Amino acid sequence: MKFLSEYRDPQRVESLVRRIHEVTTRPWTLMEVCGGQTHSIVRYGLDRMLPAQIELVHGPGCPVCVTPLEMLDAAHRIAARPEVIFATFGDMLRVPGSETDLYGVKARGGDVRIVYSPTDAVELARKHPDRQVVFFAVGFETTAPANAMAVKVAHDAGLGNFSLLVSHVLVPPAIEAVCSAPHNRVQGFLAAGHVCTVMGYVEEYPGLATRFGVPIVVTGFEPVDVLHGVLLCVQQLESGRCEVENQYSRMVRPAGNPVAIATLREVFDVVDRAWRGIGVIPGSGFALCAEFAAYDALRRFEVAHRPVAEPAECIAGLVLQGVKKPGECPAFGTRCTPEKPLGAPMVSSEGACAAYHAYRREPAEAGS
């Protein structure tokens, strides 16, 4: 299959690994931002192929993982209302809130439905004019344009029974937060290719690279992509450069997708946003702008903000910041499993803990 088999080609992988070993002379710590990249790294054992001097740590690029407990609890309260059809992608169903998850809400009678796009939720609103349809809009810049378009479609169709529960987050402020943290040890980043497909990489990333002295390489998700991204990043570090490079050029253009960006700017405002296990990051999220505020589910249902604490035993926040790895959690694989997760990274399809558990890395090895 084009753009798949050739990016899993063992000979290309071997050639890249050999080249990385040749150019590496010092220890370097790199962060892959996206959870999809993390799963590829762990699934294929790419980190095991690298020189001992190179450590890959896992970043906060799992949208399910960083959705805060307060937002999950709000979703559960809205979904439990008898007049509501709560539409969501399937990966949100088992993410634990402070008391339950969406499966639990559904088991108690809530009308929770899996959809495959936000336009499916708009169609539900058309078909059920007597019900309130709420779509759980979670994700990074990748999924935000489709959710913005869904609001525009509902607005143009006069669907007053459709709304979004918005929990969108943005990648560049998260990179800034990682670099600014006192415990940060990341020296280079593999940026999320799909985010840059939408947003491009010429507006915000060069300033971050220069300000913090870190290479940022826009990278894809297959083994050849990831290893090529590592090579480009290490070459910059070894030569003392801190620039933005585009490994994922078959998909990403410097300016991104102008139509998608224009839609985002029309529908959303940039706001401060809380990240689960990390805290509030300034300017790191989207919220519906004044023109479309009537489609904000939090306002429509007057859901109050209720601060809640993470389980004391869960170290998901430290995993998401690249400070620790899943196996360093004493609950990993025992008191925290995909069937009974303490935190979202164990249940999300992009979560680092889920990757380590799925590909059977033992706790000692997972924490190394």
Mean pLDDT of the region 120-131? 98
Question: Cα separation of 15 and 24, whole Å?
Answer: 15
Question: Percent of the chain having pLDDT more than 90?
Answer: 86
Hunting for tokens 């990051």 — which residue is that?
281
Mean pLDDT of the region 78-87? 98
Q: Which two tokens stand for residue 211?
A: 């300000």
Q: Give yes or no for residue 243 having a pLDDT over 60.
A: yes
**Is the torsion defined by CA of 332, 338, 340, 344 positive or negative?**
positive
pLDDT at 312: 84
pLDDT at 361: 65
Q: How high does pLDDT run on average in the chain? A: 94
Domain boundary assignment for the chain: 1-297+312-325, 326-363
**Is the torsion defined by CA of 289, 295, 300, 301 positive or negative?**
negative
Residue 93 carries which side chain, given as an amino acid letter?
L
Query: Does domain 1-297+312-325 bear CATH number 3.40.50.300?
Result: no
Question: Cα separation of 344 and 348, whole Å?
Answer: 6
Q: Give yes or no for residue 365 having a pLDDT over 80.
A: no
Question: Cα separation of 206 and 368, whole Å?
Answer: 32
* 135-148 tens-digit pLDDT: 999 999 999 999 99
pLDDT at 363: 53
Mean pLDDT of the region 279-300? 97
pLDDT at 3: 66
pLDDT at 308: 80
